[in-house]
């Protein structure tokens, strides 16, 4: 507890106060409670969690709930968090975490993974980022799962197309199913200004297997060219 701090020295967020049975209770936007008269200038500050998330959490395989939301945690999300194979709730929301969302979290298929209200999500470079493909495709409890900016639906559809057409055997699969690569930058894919696929050109590319039904959900697709491959089935 830090006491004797003047209000004009306070470096936290906006402070809101309310009265509870005649006692005034104040807290800032991160949930840090203050004691004393904030407006008069002298009060005590009870800090929230600060610092970075320890990588050692990855060494606690029996952990089922990790809730460090509504604090002042900084730095990156440790990739080691993906080692928590039994985790059911991973709540990192409402901190000041930066960097990118680790692709290792994509294995937490049975967990609720919450990351909203961090600098990762709200920062000035957010328009340049997408969440890892594996999280958007496999982790239904991801709180950005239905956010088309972070988890473009057509990227998931193209992942299905890639898998069913044996993409690992293609002669050129540059960019395909890369965790952080926008699907509009995948080889043979062309998008419009809205980020929707309008053309798929993969002729003579070593495609085999079958043509995925996912193609039928590309609502803006205008041209598809897949000659000289060994695909089975028809275009949906």
- Per-residue confidence at 50, pLDDT binned at 50, 70, 90? confident
- pLDDT at residue number 217: 95
- pLDDT of 49: 81
In angstroms, the CA 12 to CA 2 distance is 13
Model confidence band, residue 122 (pLDDT cutoffs 50, 70, 90): low
- At residue 190, does pLDDT exceed 50? yes
Contact between 190 and 198 (Cβ < 8 Å): yes
CA–CA gap between residue 79 and residue 82 (Å, rounded): 6
pLDDT digits (tens, 9 = 90+) for 192-235: 999 999 999 999 999 999 999 999 999 999 999 999 999 987 77
CA distance 32 to 30: 6
For 125, other C-beta atoms within 10 Å of its C-beta total 9
* Closest to 130 measured CA to CA, from 168, 175, 89, 75: 175
The residue assigned the tokens 């809101």 is 16
Catalogue the E-assigned strands of 12-77. Answer: 15-20, 23-28, 33-37, 42-45, 50-52, 65-67, 72-74
Residues 6+ apart with CB under 8 A from 227: 203, 204
Reported as a single tens digit per residue, the pLDDT across 5-30 is: 444 444 455 444 444 555 555 555 44
Residue 37 reports pLDDT greater than 50: no
Adjacent-strand bridge partners of 50: 72
Q: Which 3 state secondary structure label does DSSP give 43?
A: strand
Give the pLDDT score at 58: 85
Indicate if the alpha-carbon torsion angle 13, 105, 132, 217 is positive or negative. Answer: negative
Q: Does residue 142 carry a pLDDT above 90? A: yes
In the predicted model, what is the mean pLDDT of residues 79-92? 94
Q: From CA 130, how far away is CA 140, in angstroms rounded?
A: 16
For tokens 């491959």, the residue is: 229
State the DSSP code for 175: T
The pLDDT tens digits of the residues spanning 156-165 come to 999 999 999 9
Q: Specify the pLDDT at position 40.
A: 44
Ramachandran angles phi, psi of 167, nearest 5°: -55, -30
State the average pLDDT for the chain.
82
């Amino acid at each position: 507890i830090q006491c004797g701090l003047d209000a004009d020295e306070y470096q936290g967020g906006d402070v809101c106060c309310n009265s509870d049975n005649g006692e005034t209770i104040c807290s800032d936007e991160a949930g840090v409670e203050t004691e004393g008269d904030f407006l008069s200038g002298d009060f005590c500050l009870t800090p929230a969690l600060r610092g970075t998330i320890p990588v050692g959490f990855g060494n606690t395989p029996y952990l089922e709930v990790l809730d460090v939301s509504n604090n002042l945690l900084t730095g990156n999300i440790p990739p080691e968090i993906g080692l928590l194979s039994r985790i059911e709730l991973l709540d990192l929301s409402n901190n000041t975490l930066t960097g990118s969302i680790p692709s290792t979290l994509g294995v937490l298929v049975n967990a609720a993974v919450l990351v909203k209200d961090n600098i990762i999500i709200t920062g000035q470079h957010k328009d340049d980022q997408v969440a890892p493909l594996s999280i958007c495709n496999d982790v239904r409890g991801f709180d950005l799962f239905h956010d088309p900016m972070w988890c473009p639906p057509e990227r998931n559809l193209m992942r299905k197309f890639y898998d069913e057409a044996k993409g690992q055997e293609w002669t050129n699969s540059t960019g395909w199913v890369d965790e952080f690569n926008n699907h509009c930058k995948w080889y043979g894919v062309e998008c419009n200004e809205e980020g929707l696929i309008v053309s798929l050109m993969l002729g003579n590319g070593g495609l085999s297997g079958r043509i995925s039904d996912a193609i039928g959900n590309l609502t803006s697709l205008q041209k598809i060219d897949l000659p000289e491959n060994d695909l089975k089935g028809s275009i949906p």
